[in-house]
């Protein structure tokens, strides 16, 4: 019988060894699930930010005299810009046509929104009928207002006239519903044609931002530096210099907090795996104490102390490997059935509310590098923790153990 066969025999016969594997499996399963959900959360957040703001967002001063053609020419001169799209952003209030809030803004029937005007070629308004301009509304906002496709909505905003704000009111037709998967963005943004929004706001030029997308292989930070350097070389009046932001800086503190939270959770749940692996010391020490006679027989048959210690290190790796495989299977099952698990934990009620967690679903993304690192660290920890029991086994006296038996 080989030492590996003996290790498998020990594993089958002693319930404490499978229980040690189960402890490691639970730690690995939880860690795998947490990493997958958090990676998915970060990826969805980054994707939603970039879909709205692009890789680089250039905010143009309101009174800048440059034309749209001039800006297009400037961006075409910057290496790394794959696409540049003008955008007009304006604040307003939205309500259902006929709502009493339109006559009394103090009521709760109006919702504050960001009006985003883009070129018609960049938006899909569906079927546009009649004379009213079309509008895209986010699914959560449409649900909040009780809107259906084809309904008429009112926008209340203001325009500037001789330096004074003048109230404006305009009707739009809700022609298409959109969703980015991120609750807060879909709740406070509506999309209209840039030309229609410019008529309301009287903004000149008819853009307030430029959305820049980078070429493949060009990072957002790299592109932002190139754009900033280009505008610096143009030697514009300092009042005409645009503000340049990357998608990461637009994400702000919320994005940074999520990334920091991932690091904290890595440490916390890493200790769970560490504790699960730590039990190997007690388990293997107990195994050494109970199997002294077997150790004595192995030594009497010619097994060297080094080979005996290697046997217990191998037994530790068998326990850890089985635990890792079971943990990965458990984690994979959990991330494939998160909705069902959420229903179990919440008694049929959702736990991950989109109003709190920002998304209308539980995002999941498995990072292969993180999985490999998790497996490697677990095996390394198990090996280190098995050295003490292995050393104790190698120092067992042959004659004493056989005589005591």
Q: What is the pLDDT of residue 285?
A: 67
Q: What is the pLDDT of residue 236?
A: 80
Report the pLDDT averaged over residues 83-90.
90
Q: What is the pTM (predicted TM-score) of this model? A: 0.70
pLDDT (tens digit, 9 = 90+) per residue, 261-319? Answer: 777 777 776 777 677 667 777 776 666 655 555 555 555 555 666 666 677 777 788 88
- Between CA 73 and CA 211 the distance in angstroms is 15
- Between CA 72 and CA 203 the distance in angstroms is 18
Report the pLDDT averaged over residues 238-246.
86
Q: Comparing 8-22, 70-84, 288-302, which segment has the lowest mean pLDDT?
A: 288-302
pLDDT at 399 over 50: no
Q: What is the pLDDT of residue 1?
A: 47
Nearest-CA neighbor of 128 among 196, 64, 79?
A: 196
Side-chain half-sphere CA neighbours of 212 within 13 A: 31
Q: Considering the chain, what percentage of its residues have pLDDT values greater than 90?
A: 9
- Cβ contact 227:185 at 8 Å: no
pLDDT at 168 over 80: yes
Report the pLDDT averaged over residues 230-258.
81
Residue with the larger pLDDT of the pair 151 and 305: 151
Residue with the larger pLDDT of the pair 72 and 10: 72
Strand partners, 57: 211, 245
To the nearest whole number, what is the mean pLDDT of the chain?
78
Q: What is the pLDDT of residue 308?
A: 67
pLDDT at 99 over 90: no
* Strands 81-96 and 209-214, sheet pairing: antiparallel
pLDDT at 329 over 90: yes
Report the pLDDT averaged over residues 93-112.
62
């Amino acid at each position: 019988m080989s030492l590996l066969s003996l290790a498998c025999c020990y594993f089958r016969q002693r319930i404490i060894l499978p229980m040690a594997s189960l402890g490691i499996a639970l730690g690995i399963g939880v860690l795998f699930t947490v990493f997958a959900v958090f990676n998915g959360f970060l990826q969805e957040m980054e994707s939603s930010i970039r879909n709205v703001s692009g890789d680089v967002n250039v905010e143009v001063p309101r009174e800048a005299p440059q034309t749209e053609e001039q800006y297009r020419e400037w961006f075409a001169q910057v290496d790394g810009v794959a696409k540049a799209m003008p955008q007009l952003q304006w604040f307003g209030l939205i309500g259902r046509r006929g709502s009493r809030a339109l006559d009394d803004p103090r009521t709760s029937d109006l919702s504050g929104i960001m009006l985003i005007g883009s070129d018609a070629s960049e938006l899909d308004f569906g079927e546009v009928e009649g004379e009213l301009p079309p509008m895209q509304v986010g699914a959560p906002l449409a649900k909040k207002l009780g809107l259906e496709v084809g309904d008429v909505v009112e926008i209340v905003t203001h325009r500037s006239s001789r330096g004074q704000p003048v109230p404006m009111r305009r009707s739009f037709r809700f022609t298409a519903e959109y969703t980015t998967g991120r609750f807060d963005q879909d709740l406070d943004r509506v999309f209209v044609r840039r030309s229609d929004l410019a008529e309301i706001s009287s903004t000149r030029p008819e853009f307030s931002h430029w959305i820049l997308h980078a070429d493949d292989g060009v990072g957002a930070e790299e592109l932002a530096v190139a754009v900033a350097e280009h505008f610096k070389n143009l030697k514009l009046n300092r009042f005409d210099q645009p503000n340049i932001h990357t998608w990461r800086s637009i994400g702000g503190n919320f994005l940074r907090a999520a990334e920091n939270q991932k690091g904290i959770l890595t440490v916390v749940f890493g200790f769970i795996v560490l504790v699960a692996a730590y039990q190997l010391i007690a388990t293997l020490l107990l195994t050494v104490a109970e199997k002294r006679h077997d150790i004595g027989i192995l030594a009497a048959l010619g097994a060297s102390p080094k080979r005996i210690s290697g046997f217990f290190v191998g037994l530790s790796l068998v326990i850890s490997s089985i635990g890792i495989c079971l943990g990965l299977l458990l984690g994979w099952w959990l991330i494939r059935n998160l909705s069902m698990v959420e229903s179990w934990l919440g008694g049929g009620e959702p736990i991950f509310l989109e109003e709190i967690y920002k998304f209308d679903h539980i995002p999941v993304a498995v990072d292969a590098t993180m999985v490999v690192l998790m497996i490697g660290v677990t095996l390394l920890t198990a090996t280190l923790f098995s050295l003490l029991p292995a050393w104790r086994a190698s120092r067992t006296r042959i004659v004493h153990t056989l005589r005591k038996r």
